[in-house]
Structure 1
Amino acid sequence: MRKRIAIISEHASPLAILGGVDAGGQNVYVGELAQQLARKGFEVDVFTRREHPGIPRCVKWRDNVRIVHVDAGPVEYIEKERLLPFMPAFRDDMLLFIETEQLSYAVVHANFFMSALVAMELKARLGIPFVVTFHALGYVRRMHQGARDRFPEARLQIETDVVASADRIIAECPQDRDDLVHFYNAAPEKIALIPCGVDTEAFYPVDRQLARMRLQLPATGPVLLQLGRMVPRKGVDNVVRALPLLKSSPDAHLLIVGGATETCGEPEAEVVRLQQLAADLGVSDRITFMGQKKRDELKYFYSAADLFITTPWYEPFGITPLEAMACATPVIGAAVGGIKYSVRDGKTGRLVPPNDPAALAEAVDELMSQPALLAAMAGNAVRRVKAAFTWRMVAEKMIVVFREILAARQPEQRQTADLDFIDGAFSHLAEVVEQCSRHLRKPLLEAAEQMSDCLSKGGKVLVCGNGGSAAESQHFAAELMGRFELAHRPGLPVVSLTADTALLTAWSNDIGFDDVFARQVQALATKGDILFCISTSGSSPNILRALEAAKEKQVFCINLLGKDGGDAAAYGHLNVIVPTGSTVRIQELQLHALHTLCGLIERKLFSNSGSETGVESDKIAVA
């Protein structure tokens, strides 16, 4: 039987047009998460405030996802800063719906503090546990906006009460987690770090020339993009102020997407302010205000741009940088909140201070003057999104939280929850295996060919890794030095760089642990050898030092990595990257990759079929 989940999002409906004052990332978050939960076997009801009289009470939006419109206050748009007085009515109408429909929800997921207030009161009346994603915190907002923050003072106490009452709290980035602990005394064990995601089926790279042609933009010339809600805290004025300061790209054109629809009446106050600012700075002819655009059009804007820029004063997470990266567009973002978590400075874009047009202009000039760097960042951006920020991954982590709550509250159902966890683990592994079977076929074949060629010519393969990867390094070397599937064959010179206690302690004491593998590469490697590095993150300093030493010795470097490849990917002549953000799945698939390499190498070096891939055993140098 499908478990039923209630998602509350009082002001942000998945049905809203994005880009308006109160329609942005939360709308996307709620809609995408609801769809993914439904695909994972849940029945999902999304409760949001009714704003239009003609809209039905209940809309079947997707398979197993309903949008339930709650009557709370006048049936019209009301800005979210004025919605708090209507939350008792929201609660009562939601209770009426639950009673009338005779529904039973396993968990409530509240989004934003007012939804959390409702969830907290539902828990008190019905005993339904709840999870909260705040999306923005009152203390942090007030710290940045001061008197311009128009939310009622009661928000801070409500958030404090919610933090104490919630069964789990979702932090969207490390800064969000730290703020919850610092400002609200949240218990760290109640916090789960689950970032926002991006739909990689809706956002993907489109050829830049085709994208510009579709948008009727000039085929040549630098294009900068700002996309999102038109509110002061988003810092769009910072981008406008940077435009006249550009040196390497003085002809750059800025597209601003968001705000009023292109067919509606008067523009929003923020758009008017930005247009006046552009006129004052003499750059009106270099800026086009595009208005709101449909979601399925956004990939063309991202793909048409050379750079995506987002420099808000603060940002709890920010989905638009992920959408840009999914479209292979590097991001220049403010070093605040979630942006400094999603954008890797120097790898997928640049981070700059907020409210600093000169720093922003300098970053734009730096990237636009280096096409090769931009191209590398584009590739890194796509890999990072696919490895760590898909909505499927977000939903899987959220389901783990739901199951933990249910197991803790219902001891008699723990065995079922544990079995569900086991089923989920196998299911997730199967999904990753299927994904890897498509993405890793050619890299694994090329790696096997490189190693076989090296060994057949008298070279050797040096293997290294840390922790679990060290064990896999030793396992790989043992299978090829001994045997894998062929019982009677010569041993192969595949050496796991040592990590025994005596050498580790000696080198760590006398030289430094960061050089533990590099020293062995310098001593053992010769031109024509291969260095094979195994790492889940690709960021271990001793792995990077080993790769640097290998390059100095003219040794071919092959990396078996995970996530987005990390810094190690830049050193590899050949990278085999397991495309998932789960360390557990990476280790499982890396072991499978190692076994596959062993099998391929044996086939190529000791084939009895007489094919050109086979070589005689006496041509192989053995120790």
Structure 2
Amino acid sequence: MNKTIALISEHASPLAMLGGVDSGGQNIYVGELARQLAALGYTVDVFTRRDDPKLPLEVQWLPDVRIVHVEAGPSKQLPKESLFQYMDAFAAWMETFMERQPKRYALLHANFWMSGYVAMKLKEHIRIPFVITFHALGKVRLMHQRETDKFPEERCDVETQVMQAADGIIAECPQDEADLIQLYRADPDKITMVPCGFSPHEFHPIDKAYARMLLDLHPTRKMILQLGRMVPRKGIDTVIQSLAQLRENSMDAQLVVVGGEYEKPHLHADPEYRRLMEMATGLGVADAISFEGRKNREQLKYFYSAADVFVSTPWYEPFGITPLEAMACGTPVIGAKVGGIQYSVANGKTGFLVRPKDPQALARKLELVLKSEDLQVYLRQNAIKRVNECFTWKKVAQQMDEVYRGLAAPQPDGTADERQTIAEAFVEAADTLRLSADSLADTILRAGKALAKTFERGGKVLVCGNGGSAAESLHFSAELLGRFEIPNRVGLPVISLMGDPAMLTAWSNDIGFNDIFARQVEAYGRPGDMLMCLSTSGNSPNILEAMDRAKQLGMACMTLLGNDGGRAAVKGDINLIVPSRSTQRIQELHLHIIHLLCTLVERRLVDYSANRRASERSSSLVQAMDLSLQQKEKVKYDHAKQKSHIFG
């Protein structure tokens, strides 16, 4: 299976700083999936929009993972809601880029609906299959955002078209799968459920006291953590309201909020931060809330480990990666009963589930967990076990690999597999042509000149080869003995040593095949002639013996070979070696080179003949002029002699 794939993520780059309005779970998903697929032997290109003019075209992020920045729209940060207008340009740029690559992409994996649109357009033009992970669905978003949703109206229609065109659809959780089928009538046979994940190397338990000391947090105070983007749908206001409920119940707890566009939130620059602070002040809990701002990924495990409980109560959530990361650090999770959270959090075992926008229910679960250290230990042990068994990025990549392999497997009628074979053969042939053009142009010129010189000196060319190369030797001799492009030229002395079937069969049957070409070289070859040998391997014994005999006779040897040239390359005076290991591609290029040599030989010989005729005409003119001058001198002499005689 070809393991070169393209991940398309138009607005979410693995290189982006997390925590901003448009950077979060999708950035992590794409980056970690690419990393783990590379570990499974894939070569991955991640295509994302260039949003900064300083970004290079390509970044080799990992040995087998490259980030490619696509020119689509202005090179600056734009809200993702305004990007759809640039997706046709994104697709056109990608298509041009992909056509220049040495190896064909086997599969596209689109992330988000706009990337799905790009993949759909690419499939129409270059017939590459694609799968898509939507990460969020327009119809679900509209249910919760209503008039505040700023995406184009056509989003839901585009999502439907993408689902129909996609070869596979990735649902991140049971709720996601149900929404795809019920809201969009997606084909259930196309859908595979593959969850999101976490990295055990990145997130693991750390001693709570040590984590708090590093972060300069209170060593013993009950701590609630909320971590993620600071946007209204994440439900941070619900957590603040529940904190006020806890205070009314005489429980002293601190809420730490990590995330946002800024390292430290600003009242004037961040409207959501301003709204939340106003709410906290009005509820009298502003002194118990710490807004930490955006943090590096390396710091997050310390925040997770420092907390007594992690809270994630969005209005809706396609999956939600932060609960996994918290559980991996051994922190119980209280999450909203929505999307992927209700799938990843095992209610009563790794944490608890509550309705979104219900601060009273959240406050009750928080109080239950914060008051019982035994319950915290129980939830902690189950959380670590569950995420490591079910939700590592390694496991996610393995499941995705099965999806990819399923799409690459032959269809019942074999059509898809045959179409892929055809496409790959054309790409491989084009690649071989391009590489040969780069490496052989000078040698082909030299070979054409040498052949023409052989004919100009009155020599001849003997040609030999086995199997498919035997057919090409006959082809070459026919083109030069007859004509190739220039009509009415003289025939050229080219002998294919495969041209006498009776001799070939008799000699190989009675004597042996190893010296069948050498015997003919001995009979026909003369000093100044050339032997031309065609071989894909360069190691055929009869070719090697023929070259040895030609050298003994004072003949030059030219070869058309492949791979590394084999032993024939050591014996050849001019070696045309096609840079390929495929016998089919080598023979195809041999024919192409033969045609080029015929063109060069004909043009050089026509030029030579024209020059020789011009030279002969010039010589005749000089001779005529010399004769004329001689005649004039004789007349003058005779006239002078006669005059002398008369006047004595």
Q: Same fold (TM over 0.5)?
A: yes
1:257 is aligned with what amino acid? V
- Corresponding residue number in structure 1 for 2:373: 371
Secondary structure at the residue paired with 1:68? strand
- Corresponding residue number in structure 2 for 1:4: 4
Larger radius of gyration: 2
Q: Over aligned residues, Cα RMSD in angstroms?
A: 1.8
1:90 is aligned with what amino acid? F
Aligned pairs for 1:522-561 within 5 A: none
The separation in 2 between residues aligned to 1:2 and 1:64, in whole angstroms, is: 14
TM-score (norm 1): 0.65
Secondary structure at the residue paired with 1:201? coil
TM-score (norm 2): 0.63
Offset at 1:99?
2.0
- Corresponding residue number in structure 2 for 1:437: none
The separation in 2 between residues aligned to 1:65 and 1:407, in whole angstroms, is: 24
Contact 2:2 2:106 in 1 (8 A): no
* Partner residue of 1:343 out of 342, 345, 350: 345
Contact 1:10 1:48 in 2 (8 A): yes
Change (3 A) 1:198 1:290: same
The separation in 1 between residues aligned to 2:261 and 2:288, in whole angstroms, is: 20
Aligned pairs for 1:69-148 within 5 A: 69-148=69-148
Offset at 1:368?
1.2
- Corresponding residue number in structure 2 for 1:447: none
Change (3 A) 1:264 1:331: closer
* Partner residue of 1:289 out of 277, 291, 306: 291
Offset at 1:304?
0.2
Structure 1: which 4+ aligned runs deviate by more than 6 Å?
Answer: 412-415
- Corresponding residue number in structure 2 for 1:20: 20
Contact 2:410 2:416 in 1 (8 A): no
Matched, 1:250 2:270: no
The separation in 2 between residues aligned to 1:81 and 1:129, in whole angstroms, is: 26
Contact 2:264 2:291 in 1 (8 A): no
Change (3 A) 1:46 1:369: same
* Partner residue of 2:389 out of 387, 401, 406: 387
Contact 1:61 1:67 in 2 (8 A): yes
1:172 is aligned with what amino acid? E
Aligned pairs for 1:23-62 within 5 A: 23-62=23-62
Matched, 1:358 2:360: yes
The separation in 2 between residues aligned to 1:366 and 1:72, in whole angstroms, is: 51
Offset at 1:249?
6.2
Aligned pairs for 1:493-504 within 5 A: none
Aligned pairs for 1:593-612 within 5 A: none
The separation in 2 between residues aligned to 1:335 and 1:319, in whole angstroms, is: 15
Offset at 1:414?
7.4
The separation in 1 between residues aligned to 2:264 and 2:321, in whole angstroms, is: 25
Offset at 1:2?
5.7
Offset at 1:150?
1.1
Change (3 A) 1:62 1:249: farther
Contact 1:332 1:349 in 2 (8 A): yes
Contact 1:260 1:267 in 2 (8 A): no
Offset at 1:219?
0.6
Contact 2:336 2:353 in 1 (8 A): yes
Offset at 1:100?
2.8
Structure 1 gap ranges (5+): 418-623
The separation in 2 between residues aligned to 1:282 and 1:218, in whole angstroms, is: 20
- Corresponding residue number in structure 2 for 1:260: 261
Contact 1:111 1:133 in 2 (8 A): yes
Aligned pairs for 1:197-596 within 5 A: 197-246=197-246, 250-262=251-263, 267-408=269-410, 411=414
Contact 1:208 1:303 in 2 (8 A): yes
Change (3 A) 1:400 1:249: farther
Residues 39-95 of structure 1 deviation map (CA, whole Å, 9 limit, x = unaligned): 100100000001111110000001200000001111111111111101111111111
The separation in 2 between residues aligned to 1:39 and 1:249, in whole angstroms, is: 51
The separation in 1 between residues aligned to 2:417 and 2:198, in whole angstroms, is: 32
Offset at 1:250?
2.4
Secondary structure at the residue paired with 1:101? coil
Contact 1:2 1:41 in 2 (8 A): no
The separation in 2 between residues aligned to 1:231 and 1:348, in whole angstroms, is: 26
The separation in 2 between residues aligned to 1:291 and 1:233, in whole angstroms, is: 18
The separation in 1 between residues aligned to 2:132 and 2:261, in whole angstroms, is: 30
The separation in 1 between residues aligned to 2:96 and 2:31, in whole angstroms, is: 24
The separation in 2 between residues aligned to 1:274 and 1:105, in whole angstroms, is: 47
Contact 1:226 1:257 in 2 (8 A): yes
Number of matched residues? 416
Contact 2:264 2:292 in 1 (8 A): no
